[in-house]
């Protein structure tokens, strides 16, 4: 798969927000083009405001359109109120929805590139 630019990822984030799917975690695309070994990856960072935890949404090298979420490790325990737990749940749900959206959008992108170039599309299990 061709690399995804931070501008393209930013446009996908804007598209996700426009759908009203939630943007409680304020995601932003990170440019990873500085490292040639990362040519086929993509990275988005979001911060969970309630807990202060950063999460990373990443697509690994290879043909799969699947995105994954990594939660940054915490240095200390967090004690929160019921209201804060509900806010955190909303933030985590928004990240989950964004991850699913990015996987769907990447699969669509792969199909479009394959149609233009004649390259094989990912296996059905990858989409």
Confidence category of residue 38, pLDDT binned at 50, 70, 90: very low
- Average pLDDT, integer, range 10-36: 78
- Average pLDDT, integer, range 10-34: 80
Beta bridge pairs of residue 108: none
Tell whether the model's pLDDT for residue 127 goes beyond 50.
no
pLDDT at 89: 92
**Of the candidate ranges 6-10, 57-61, 120-124, the one whose mean pLDDT is the lowest:** 120-124
pLDDT at 6: 80
Q: pTM to 2 decimals?
A: 0.82
Tell whether the model's pLDDT for residue 88 goes beyond 80.
yes
The 10s digit of each residue's pLDDT in 40-83 is 567 899 988 888 889 999 987 667 899 999 999 888 888 889 99
pLDDT at 51: 84
Measured on CA atoms in the order 120, 122, 112, 40, is the torsion positive or negative? negative
Structure tokens, 8: 């393209």
Show me where the domains of the chain are located: 6-121
Tell whether the model's pLDDT for residue 4 goes beyond 80.
no
Residue-wise over 42-80: b if at least 16 C-beta within 10 A, else e? bbbbbbbebbebebebbbeeeebbbbebeeeeeeeeeee
Supply the mean pLDDT for the chain.
Answer: 82
């Amino acid at each position: 798969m061709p690399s995804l630019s931070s501008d393209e990822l930013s446009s996908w984030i804007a598209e996700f927000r426009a759908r009203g799917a939630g943007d409680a975690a304020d995601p932003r695309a990170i440019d990873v083009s500085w490292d040639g070994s990362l040519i086929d990856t993509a990275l988005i960072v979001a911060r969970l405001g309630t807990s202060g935890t950063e999460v990373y949404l990443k697509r690994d090298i290879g043909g799969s359109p699947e995105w994954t979420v990594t939660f940054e490790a915490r240095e200390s325990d967090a004690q929160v109120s019921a209201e804060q737990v509900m806010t955190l749940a909303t933030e985590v749900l928004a990240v989950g929805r964004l991850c699913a959206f990015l996987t769907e959008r990447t699969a669509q992108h792969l199909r479009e590139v394959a149609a233009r170039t004649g390259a094989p599309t990912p296996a059905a299990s990858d989409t």
